[in-house]
Chains A and B, each alone.
Chain A
Amino acid sequence: MLTRELAIASLDKGQVVPDRLTRIKHARYPEYAERMLALYRKGVGKTRQELHRGVHDIFRDEPECPLRRIAAFAKLLDDVSVFDRAGFGQAADLRCQVFRRAAVCHPLVLEPDRQFDHAEAEVKAQIAREMGQSWEEIDRQLFADVMEFHCLQEFTGYPNPQALLARYNVAQVQAALFDGVSLTVWAEQDFKVILRYAKLARLMHTIQRAESGYVFHFDGPASVLRQTRRYGVAMAQFLPALLACQAWRMHALVRVRGRWNASLDLSAADGLTSHLPVPEEFDSQVEEDFAHQWGTDSRSGWNLIREGEVLHAGQKVFVPDFVFRHEDGRKVLLEIVGFWTPEYLEAKLKTLRTFAGQNILVAVAAGNEKRGDGFAPDAIRFKKRLRIKDVLQRLESKP
């Protein structure tokens, strides 16, 4: 991620517009990106300062480029680089040795006289002799641990210029979100992924049903007391997960210069590319097989919808794998529990107990019951695949 100092955004009618490179306006950028990647790939052994100068040089004649954008590229490249840390302690030891030796000769003067007879050049030559190195060598190593002088050891890099440019565009949106006060997401699918990553980022949620899908409102504990930017970084961390999803839009309130709020609106149609993969459609093979077997038509009046319902109680959420809706209005949820560790099963049981009031059908993989898994006796047990017949039978017996 970028730092706040590298953020570039403009304000347009109350909207925050983060800096964004486009194919038309920034036609030369793929070439710059290629050159930057080449610079780092061939840059092993060069200092950070040299690499950053190199990045600046690539943009020397580019008319359309703020200095911050150049610095942001340098940061994104550094983020996927490994810099040599081996010599860090050594430089400090070397300084200690050199300064101690020089201390008795203080002050080192240019022109020695009767009172001060330690000439700078002579003292340095003497120290170099004592330490068995040339002074140039010592001088070069003396501050090797300073950030600008770190040497590139390895560049893990971006696969291609487009990936670097895409990362830049996302990073600028993230940087704008650093000052985020609240975040609202409208989603039609991928609820599980959205909620899981929001939880990972330690955000709190408020969940409302929308016409199609759900509205998630994310912020943090103190947000109820005042508008605070405190959770902006968490929102920025969450963003790539959202970008990987489909059929969503978001609206963030962003604090501008610590004084007023502006909006940051974004949707799946904006075409920002996440470095995270698109969420898997199904959590497991069993789920996938079951959904394919069922098909898209209704069976005995029941329609199958994947992850269609978000159950929530306070800050606990549960998204069962499937929802069955009957034409007469009945609704039953289905959760499929694979063969898993006892801890996983225990957590699953706890969740099911929290939402015991809901109409949930549970299908449990055979084998778990031998370990005394504690699922209700009316749970469907399945071996390799979950059979439609078993499920339909149980659906009919539900109220």
Chain B
Amino acid sequence: MDRARLSFVGGTITISALPSEAWQAVLATANPTWDSRINAWRCDAIDYMTLRRRLHAEGCIVEDTVPHWQTVTWPSVQLPRMRPEQVQAISAWEELRRGVVVMPTGTGKTEVALAIMRRQAISTLIVAPVRDLMYQWHRRIRESLGYDAGIIGDNIFRVLPVAVTTYDSACIHMDKLGANFGLIVFDECHHLPGPMRRDAARMSAAPCRLGLTATPERSDGLHADLDALIGPRVYELPLADVRGRTLANYEVIRIPVHLSQEEQAFYDRLSAQVRAFVCRRRKLEPVFSWDALCGQAANDPEARQVLRAYWKKKSIEDRAQEKLRVLEDIFRLHAGCPCLIFAGSNAMARDVSRRFLIPCLLNHCGKKERHEVLTGLAEGRYPALVANQVLDEGVDLPEVKVAVVIGGTGSIKQAKQRLGRILRRAGNAAATLYEVVCADTNEERRSRSRRGSDAYQGTRHRQLG
């Protein structure tokens, strides 16, 4: 009898010499496609296990060259004792060894993943949303399992049996690496179902898959695809269950600031410029819209100026001097208590850093500096830290009780994640989130949209001044 040969090629599985008596059955399950370019059948790497099982059930002898994963021994394991909900999550996942675990930020998702890695002891790839998180996983794996993991991303390509990467790198390189890992962990897995990014799951042959997230829902509805890409939702711990128990209580305080006289004058002048232009255009075309303005900027220097005026307005809101004064008040109020500041732009983050001489974590920071800054804050060497969006998700910052949002977009998910940052489990002291927004500007509108999030519901809102 012929041996069916399975190979991993460019993120797909090719099947050659498939015995005729088996292929009907195989066609029905794994749905391979005939590829005349290579004279073989082909299917997505993600279908590898289904295919393998089907061939086995048909009694086919298979020459399987796909798996390049191996058994891993952990040099030194140092994991904390799991809490009951973590134990539940682990055993729920182990029933299928595929699936998504939903747990709020700060409830020990990372530990769940590390415990699963330890028990599976197989080549593992961790996929994280951003570089910071990738490095954080690298550190956690070294601390908890004693393994110096490989890094794929940030201009590094060090492939080891256990490695960390980002979604973007995973998507680019999975057609080469898809057979190297038996377990693939998608951290903040709501990022996975994007039209291109899903290749990170589709082009991997890993039989074991774990997704971790606090916020599985996506506004485009694509989270439904996580079932196919990772596995079913095997465990879910709602936010309300843990508040006040493992997470700190929190309070949201909104502080409106006003533009300085000069800023306001400039702001008003820019507003008038934009308004006048739009009014004039509306006389010609009653439905003149923002899109039309962007379009006209192509062949009208005035429209281009107006577009610039609009961006300048945003920049004035974002970098209002008054925000720095309010920040000083907050620092005074919480002296001796580590603070996290989220800025709306890199420029504002640098303004804050220069004014108060506190570290800022931006995209250009190298691995060494990130580590120095983050551990420095944790160990009390630095009093505060300012960042833009790089700290949005999952970056571990122990015991931060005060966070200040001084800008940012109005997305609900961002608010939830930013709030998650200060909900660290430690002591009884209540956490406080300040939101500093410019009054009488578009920023106020964005703040209102932010507070529409269910993450804020049930929190107390206060206004100062």
Residues on A lying within 8 angstroms of B by beta carbon are 60-67, 69, 89, 92, 95-96, 98-103, 106-110, 115-116, 120, 123-124, 127, 139, 142-143, 145-147, 204-206, 220-222, 224-225, 228-230, 258, 314-315
22 A-B contact pairs sorted by A residue (CB < 8 Å): A62-B301, A65-B298, A89-B366, A92-B366, A96-B369, A102-B356, A102-B358, A106-B335, A106-B383, A107-B328, A109-B332, A110-B328, A123-B357, A145-B364, A146-B346, A221-B175, A222-B175, A222-B203, A224-B33, A224-B42, A258-B195, A314-B38
Q: Contacts A103-B383, A106-B356, A220-B10; is A66 near B298 (CB within 8 Å)?
A: yes
Once the chains bind, are B199 and A107 in contact (CB under 8 Å)?
A: no
Once the chains bind, are A102 and B357 in contact (CB under 8 Å)?
A: yes
User: Once bound together, how far apart are the Cα atoms of A22 and B107, in whole Å?
Assistant: 60
Is the CB of B304 closer than 8 A to any CB of chain A?
yes
Neighbouring B residues of A314 by C-beta, 8 Å: 37-39
Q: A221-B12, A224-B33 are in contact. List 15 more A-B contacts (CB 8 A).
A: A64-B299, A65-B299, A96-B369, A98-B357, A101-B357, A106-B384, A120-B356, A145-B364, A206-B36, A221-B11, A222-B11, A222-B44, A225-B42, A230-B199, A314-B37
Neighbouring A residues of B287 by C-beta, 8 Å: none
B 2-41 contacts with A by CB, 8 A: 9-12, 33, 35-39
User: Once bound together, how far apart are the Cα atoms of A315 and B9, in whole Å?
Assistant: 13
Once the chains bind, are B366 and A205 in contact (CB under 8 Å)?
A: no
Neighbouring B residues of A230 by C-beta, 8 Å: 175, 196, 199
Once the chains bind, are A221 and B368 in contact (CB under 8 Å)?
A: no
User: Once bound together, how far apart are the Cα atoms of A350 and B331, in whole Å?
Assistant: 73
B186-228 near A? 1/0 per residue, CB < 8 Å: 0000000001100100010000000000000000000000000
User: Once bound together, how far apart are the Cα atoms of A147 and B372, in whole Å?
Assistant: 21
B357-386 near A? 1/0 per residue, CB < 8 Å: 111001011101100100000000111100
Once the chains bind, are B382 and A103 in contact (CB under 8 Å)?
A: yes
Is the CB of B300 closer than 8 A to any CB of chain A?
yes
B301: contacting residue among A60, A147, A204, A221, CB under 8 A: A60
Q: Contacts A145-B364, A225-B33, A225-B44; is A124 near B195 (CB within 8 Å)?
A: no
Neighbouring B residues of A206 by C-beta, 8 Å: 36-37
CB distance from B23 to the nearest CB of A (A): 17
Q: 4 smallest A-B Cβ distances: which pairs?
A: A221-B10, A102-B357, A107-B331, A66-B298
| Count of B interface residues, CB-CB < 8 Å | 49
Neighbouring A residues of B325 by C-beta, 8 Å: 110
CB distance from B225 to the nearest CB of A (A): 14
Neighbouring A residues of B358 by C-beta, 8 Å: 99, 102-103, 106
User: Once bound together, how far apart are the Cα atoms of A172 and B51, in whole Å?
Assistant: 42
Once the chains bind, are B299 and A107 in contact (CB under 8 Å)?
A: no
CB distance from B370 to the nearest CB of A (A): 10
B316-339 near A? 1/0 per residue, CB < 8 Å: 000000000100100110010000
User: Once bound together, how far apart are the Cα atoms of A115 and B336, in whole Å?
Assistant: 12
Neighbouring A residues of B175 by C-beta, 8 Å: 221-222, 230
CB distance from A19 to the nearest CB of B (A): 10
User: Once bound together, how far apart are the Cα atoms of A143 and B365, in whole Å?
Assistant: 10
Neighbouring A residues of B331 by C-beta, 8 Å: 106-107
CB distance from B202 to the nearest CB of A (A): 8
Q: Among the interface residues A99, A116, A143, A228, which one has the most CB atoms of the partner chain B within 10 A?
A: A99
Is the CB of B307 closer than 8 A to any CB of chain A?
yes
Neighbouring A residues of B38 by C-beta, 8 Å: 314-315
User: Once bound together, how far apart are the Cα atoms of A120 and B12, in whole Å?
Assistant: 60
B 36-58 contacts with A by CB, 8 A: 36-39, 42-44
Neighbouring A residues of B44 by C-beta, 8 Å: 222, 225
User: Once bound together, how far apart are the Cα atoms of A184 and B300, in whole Å?
Assistant: 38
Q: Contacts A116-B332, A229-B196, A315-B37; is A143 near B350 (CB within 8 Å)?
A: yes
Is the CB of B354 closer than 8 A to any CB of chain A?
yes
CB distance from B311 to the nearest CB of A (A): 10
Once the chains bind, are B299 and A124 in contact (CB under 8 Å)?
A: no
User: Once bound together, how far apart are the Cα atoms of A107 and B298, in whole Å?
Assistant: 47
Is the CB of B460 closer than 8 A to any CB of chain A?
no
Q: Among the interface residues B37, B368, B381, which one has the most CB atoms of the partner chain A within 10 A?
A: B37
B42: contacting residue among A62, A139, A145, A221, CB under 8 A: A221
Is the CB of B278 closer than 8 A to any CB of chain A?
no
Neighbouring A residues of B195 by C-beta, 8 Å: 258
**CB-CB nearest in chain B for A142:** B354
Neighbouring A residues of B37 by C-beta, 8 Å: 204-206, 224, 314-315
Neighbouring A residues of B299 by C-beta, 8 Å: 63-66
Is the CB of B297 closer than 8 A to any CB of chain A?
yes
Once the chains bind, are A64 and B298 in contact (CB under 8 Å)?
A: yes
Q: Contacts A60-B301, A61-B301, A63-B301; is A224 near B39 (CB within 8 Å)?
A: no
Q: Contacts A221-B10, A315-B38; is A108 near B43 (CB within 8 Å)?
A: no
User: Once bound together, how far apart are the Cα atoms of A258 and B365, in whole Å?
Assistant: 33
User: Once bound together, how far apart are the Cα atoms of A69 and B10, in whole Å?
Assistant: 35
B354: contacting residue among A100, A106, A139, CB under 8 A: A139
Is the CB of B119 closer than 8 A to any CB of chain A?
no
**CB-CB nearest in chain B for A147:** B364
User: Once bound together, how far apart are the Cα atoms of A229 and B369, in whole Å?
Assistant: 36
Once the chains bind, are B332 and A67 in contact (CB under 8 Å)?
A: no
CB distance from B336 to the nearest CB of A (A): 9
Neighbouring B residues of A220 by C-beta, 8 Å: 10
**CB-CB nearest in chain A for B196:** A229
Is the CB of B355 closer than 8 A to any CB of chain A?
yes
B365: contacting residue among A63, A92, A205, A229, CB under 8 A: A92
Q: Contacts A63-B301, A64-B299, A229-B196; is A146 near B42 (CB within 8 Å)?
A: no
Neighbouring B residues of A145 by C-beta, 8 Å: 364
Once the chains bind, are A107 and B356 in contact (CB under 8 Å)?
A: yes
Neighbouring B residues of A95 by C-beta, 8 Å: 359, 369
Neighbouring B residues of A225 by C-beta, 8 Å: 12, 33, 42-44
User: Once bound together, how far apart are the Cα atoms of A61 and B384, in whole Å?
Assistant: 45
